[in-house]
Chain A
Amino acid sequence: AQKVTQAQTEISVVEKEDVTLDCVYETRDTTYYLFWYKQPPSGELVFLIRRNSFDEQNEISGRYSWNFQKSTSSFNFTITASQVVDSAVYFCALSEAKKSSGDKLTFGTGTRLAVRP
């Protein structure tokens, strides 16, 4: 069975601080995908990134960066120089990469990030 753990329930930072959101996953599959989504107060889940289990390269997109470490089953997300607009709930998710499983996502419980001015 798959499981995603986001141990941080809530994080509060002051604007311009860097913040890292932790994600630890469990799966028996050798091939899988990892995702991060942002959910602002409006409710819509906004896709941020997808990472294939074979690709352990870290990725940077503007102020966002992701650190994927297979050895520790972690896929952490860092926001550099946080802004008030980053305030949202962030979800980490996992899906198997086999046809029989389709595109089912297993989500973590989310981390609520509050960025104070």
Chain B
Amino acid sequence: KAGVTQTPRYLIKTRGQQVTLSCSPISGHRSVSWYQQTPGQGLQFLFEYFSETQRNKGNFPGRFSGRQFSNSRSEMNVSTLELGDSALYLCASSYNNEQFFGPGTRLTVL
């Protein structure tokens, strides 16, 4: 089985722009979660989608949003980028409470 894939792997944006990250889960996995990893805050949960519905949400501002499609692929969007949004964004797909992570998208905001 192919693992979790994330695109793009690297992204450079400027403040005020918006960005969309994509995640394709492992085949058969219906749950997709997103995490932000920064040196200062560590790994923080953003949100989780299951069967196209947001099942859980972390403590992030409304600029962070996501969605899931019928094929379980998920996207997350960050609008009005700030310097502090520079991070590694990790996507995980899960089945039976076991979460497997993708390689991440490293976002740099200049």
Q: Which of A36-50 contact B (CB under 8 A)?
A: 37, 42-47, 50
Asked whether, in the complex, the Cβ of B103 is within 8 Å of the Cβ of A104, the reply is no
With contact pairs A43-B106, A45-B90, A110-B42 given, residues A105 and B99 touching in the complex (Cβ less than 8 Å): yes
A50 touches which of B45, B97, B103 (Cβ 8 Å): B97
Asked whether, in the complex, the Cβ of A44 is within 8 Å of the Cβ of B104, the reply is yes
Asked whether, in the complex, the Cβ of B98 is within 8 Å of the Cβ of A104, the reply is no
With contact pairs A47-B98, A50-B98, A102-B50 given, residues A107 and B103 touching in the complex (Cβ less than 8 Å): no
B103 touches which of A44, A47, A97, A101 (Cβ 8 Å): A44
Asked whether, in the complex, the Cβ of B103 is within 8 Å of the Cβ of A105, the reply is no
Q: Which of A100-117 contact B (CB under 8 A)?
A: 101-110
Question: B92: which A residues are within 8 A, CB to CB?
Answer: 45, 103, 105
Q: Could you tell me how many residues of chain A have their Cβ less than 8 Å away from some Cβ of chain B?
A: 24
User: Does any Cβ of B come within 8 Å of A95's Cβ?
Assistant: yes
How long is the Cα–Cα vector from A107 to B106 in the complex, in angstroms?
19
Q: Which of A62-117 contact B (CB under 8 A)?
A: 91, 93, 95, 97, 101-110
Question: A42: which B residues are within 8 A, CB to CB?
Answer: 103
B33 touches which of A46, A50, A97, A104 (Cβ 8 Å): A104
Asked whether, in the complex, the Cβ of B33 is within 8 Å of the Cβ of A45, the reply is no
Asked whether, in the complex, the Cβ of B45 is within 8 Å of the Cβ of A109, the reply is no
With contact pairs A109-B42, A110-B42 given, residues A103 and B101 touching in the complex (Cβ less than 8 Å): no
Q: Which of B21-61 contact A (CB under 8 A)?
A: 31, 33, 35, 42-45, 48, 50, 55-56, 58
User: Does any Cβ of A come within 8 Å of B94's Cβ?
Assistant: yes
Asked whether, in the complex, the Cβ of B99 is within 8 Å of the Cβ of A103, the reply is yes
Closest 5 pairs (CB-CB, A-B): A45-B101, A102-B55, A107-B43, A102-B56, A44-B103
